[in-house]
């Protein structure tokens, strides 16, 4: 049993998960707001030997060194770049994540964004409620061209669980699927065709980002890669905000090189008022909710609690820095 377990920021615990954590720590402290800096994170951790965090806060070398009681760090997300996991490993601290919880949810949301671009459902619904259809001389009206997906090509950057699910749905729409990934899986070959990045950029009508954020993928969508894309391409990002150089994307949207973009993530969250995507043409932005269905949150909590239990049992699971 842990002496003290601290969630240093909101981790969207459902009541059953919160109750379960009390079985594995003598004291459980759950903070309901995001710490403003490292000093606040260090104060919150104090002498805790187990730490949970979600997506916003960062645990780097300075925090780890200042909190020598830490034995375990659990990230309640799939991405784990919020922790200096390499340094944690040097200090003998395992870092766990929650893989696979959002495969269906994020893939579903990807197509919610894509279909909004194709049909502008929200806009037309608002127009009808404003009386536009009632006043129309014809039986219908369209303020935007409607786009059919069948026969078009989707390029998926990152072809793991989520990317492959997106590919499966895309095939059901009649789309051709191209994939770029450092690893080629047999399951992926059954869904789409693996190609190099330049080929994907040149041939795709829709490009969807589902790769993790690592140094080699940061800024993968930039002025140079955008120049290799088809004119009028659609870009989707439900992965990580820093995968995209936002000013370059905004410039491409404003010039018409990219027809439309839909992003659920941005470089700094919550979004800053000077983010160039806020004023870019044809840019749909949602507040990092692709993961947030009730069903996915339940899976996160179940896995997070199981990760704690597995560590205490001596057989840790989902360790990312072994």
Taking only the tens place, the pLDDT of each residue in 215-258 is 999 999 999 999 999 999 999 999 999 999 999 999 999 999 99
The count of residues in the chain is 322
Q: Is the pLDDT of residue 17 over 80?
A: no
313 C-beta neighbours (distance < 10 Å), count: 10
Q: For this structure, is 269 an active site residue?
A: yes
User: Where in the chain is CATH 3.40.50.720?
Assistant: 2-101+295-312, 103-285
Which residues have C-beta within 8 Å of that of residue 13, sequence separation ≥ 6? 7, 21, 30, 301
Q: HSE on the CB side for 129, CA within 13 Å?
A: 6
Average pLDDT over residues 294-319: 95
Q: HSE on the CB side for 137, CA within 13 Å?
A: 0
CA distances from residue 165 to 168, 172, 187, 262, 317 in whole angstroms, order as listed: 5, 11, 11, 18, 24
CA–CA separation, 124 vs 34, rounded Å?
37
Q: For this structure, is 288 an active site residue?
A: yes
State the CATH architecture for 103-285: 3-Layer(aba) Sandwich (3.40)
CA–CA separation, 206 vs 47, rounded Å?
49
Q: For this structure, is 240 an active site residue?
A: yes
193 close to 178: Cβ distance less than 8 angstroms:
yes
Catalytic residue among 126, 216, 269, 295: 269
Catalytic residue among 120, 161, 288, 297: 288
Catalytic residue among 120, 124, 210, 240: 240
Q: What fold characterizes domain 2-101+295-312?
A: Rossmann fold (3.40.50)
105 close to 111: Cβ distance less than 8 angstroms:
no
What are the start-end ranges of the H helices in the chain?
Answer: 15-21, 38-45, 61-66, 85-90, 103-119, 121-129, 161-172, 186-189, 197-203, 223-227, 246-255, 294-312
Average pLDDT over residues 43-60: 96
Taking only the tens place, the pLDDT of each residue in 79-133 is 898 999 999 999 999 999 999 999 999 999 999 999 999 999 999 999 999 999 9
């Amino acid at each position: 049993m842990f002496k003290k377990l601290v969630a240093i920021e909101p981790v969207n615990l459902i009541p059953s998960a919160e109750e379960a954590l009390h079985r594995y720590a003598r004291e459980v402290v759950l903070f309901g707001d995001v710490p403003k800096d490292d000093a606040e994170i260090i104060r919150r951790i104090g002498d805790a030997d187990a730490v949970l965090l979600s997506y916003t806060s960062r645990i780097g070398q300075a925090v780890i060194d200042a909190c020598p009681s830490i034995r375990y760090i659990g990230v309640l997300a799939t991405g784990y770049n919020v922790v200096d996991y390499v340094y944690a490993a040097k200090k003998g601290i395992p870092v766990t994540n929650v893989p696979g919880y959002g495969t269906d949810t994020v893939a579903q949301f990807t197509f919610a964004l894509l279909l909004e671009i194709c049909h502008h459902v929200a806009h037309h619904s608002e127009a009808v409620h404003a009386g536009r259809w009632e006043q129309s001389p014809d039986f219908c009206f369209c303020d935007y061209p409607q786009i059919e997906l069948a026969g078009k090509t989707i390029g998926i950057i990152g072809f793991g669980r989520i990317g492959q699910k997106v590919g499966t749905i895309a095939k059901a729409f009649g789309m051709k699927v191209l994939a770029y990934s450092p690893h080629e899986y047999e399951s992926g070959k059954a869904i789409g065709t693996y190609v190099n990045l330049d080929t994907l950029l040149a041939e795709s009508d829709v490009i969807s980002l589902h790769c993790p954020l690592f140094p080699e993928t940061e800024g993968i969508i930039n002025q140079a890669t955008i120049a290799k894309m088809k004119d009028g391409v659609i870009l989707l990002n439900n992965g990580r905000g820093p995968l995209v150089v936002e000013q370059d994307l905004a410039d491409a949207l404003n010039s018409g090189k990219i027809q439309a973009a839909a992003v659920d993530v941005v470089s700094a969250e919550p979004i800053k008022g000077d983010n160039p995507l806020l004023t870019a043409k044809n840019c749909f932005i949602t507040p990092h909710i692709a993961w947030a269905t009730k069903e996915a949150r339940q899976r996160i909590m179940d896995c997070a609690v199981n990760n704690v239990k597995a560590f205490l049992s001596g057989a840790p699971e989902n360790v990312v820095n072994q």
